[in-house]
Structure 1
Amino acid sequence: MDDLERDIFSVIGRLPRYSKLLVKLYKSPDIRKRHKLLLSMGIAYSASPIDLIPGIIPVAGQLDNLLIMLRCLEKVLDAYDVKITGKYLDEAGTSVDEIKEDIQLTGETLKSIGRGTVKVVSNTVKFAGYSVLYGIRKLRRKRPY
């Protein structure tokens, strides 16, 4: 298992903390309605069957949900002073820096998966092209009686 895989599993392991933070921020009277709407959008996107990257694509389909949720959290946390958000971060057992690192790591993982997918698809198309050409050549060599 390489470092990127190990790190992304750590991010996924922190998901309960992020969910707890999201709920605490949403219930907080200190957070404005527009920011609660942003948090709601993050939750709705994660729960929605309509995704930018479909859930049937292993791992990538779930990582985009995580990335959107983390981005929503980051935007809300950046909008407030640490005095307001600090207590919620402490209760959830996380920090703004950890969230930002996890956003970066999740994005890098998605890019890596994308590059690998493109490589597999291009090799498959290349193989299919060679197979078709081989079949055409065989058909040309056959002579009618």
Structure 2
Amino acid sequence: MMEYGSGWMERWKTRVRVLKMEVHALLLAYRDPRVPRQAKLVAALVVAYAVSPIDLIPDFIPVLGYLDDLIILPLGILLAVKMIPVEVMEDCRVRAGEASPEKKKSSAVIGAVIVVVAWMIIIVAVVVFGNKMMNWPSFL
């Protein structure tokens, strides 16, 4: 049987911390006026995906459930970072690293609330417009 040393687990914890800090830096970059609109859009989508309780592939599906988090999120971060000017991203990383845990937590909560509200609006719109377009009974 193969034993996993603490080195393996520490590397994963470090990677998770780096991803969290990158997501926070992207949130800060999104708010920065020096960032082009297209980069802001990509950054907003990546941050929304990171804090969204809804994944493309649900986490309860073995292996594939976490595959989207391990591939889609890092690729989205990479794309957003490439679109943001280097000096802006460096500044945002420094600010993200200096942020207090309380501020990070409040930013995450605000982001999660925004994402949940957005999903609720989308669901209501689909139901309302779906009823009208499909002539479904009004109780659906």
| Alignment TM-score, normalising by the size of structure 1 | 0.49
Which among 80, 88, 101 is matched to residue 76 of structure 1?
Answer: 80
Which among 33, 37, 41 is matched to residue 45 of structure 2?
Answer: 41
1:41-82, CA deviations, whole angstroms, 9 ceiling, x for partnerless residues?
Answer: 223333152414x21146763452354333222222223442
Which aligned pairs between 1:1-145 and structure 2 lie closer than 5 A?
1-2=4-5, 3-46=7-50, 47=52, 49-52=54-57, 54-57=58-61, 61-62=65-66, 64-65=68-69, 67-93=71-97
Distance 1:50 1:14, change over 3 A: closer
Q: Distance in 2 between matches of 1:58 and 1:14?
A: 25
Q: How many residues align?
A: 93
Q: Distance in 1 between matches of 2:88 and 2:54?
A: 34
Distance 1:86 1:45, change over 3 A: closer
Q: Which amino acid aligns with 1:9?
A: K
The answer to whether the 8 A contact 1:35-1:76 is kept is yes
Specify every segment of 5 or more residues in structure 1 that has no aligned partner in the other structure, as ranges.
94-145
The answer to whether the 8 A contact 2:28-2:92 is kept is yes
1:29-51, CA deviations, whole angstroms, 9 ceiling, x for partnerless residues?
Answer: 11111111112222333315241
Q: Secondary structure at the match of 1:29?
A: coil
Q: Distance in 1 between matches of 2:66 and 2:11?
A: 15
| Alignment TM-score, normalising by the size of structure 2 | 0.50
Larger radius of gyration: 1
Q: Aligned-residue CA RMSD in angstroms?
A: 3.0
The answer to whether the 8 A contact 2:29-2:35 is kept is yes
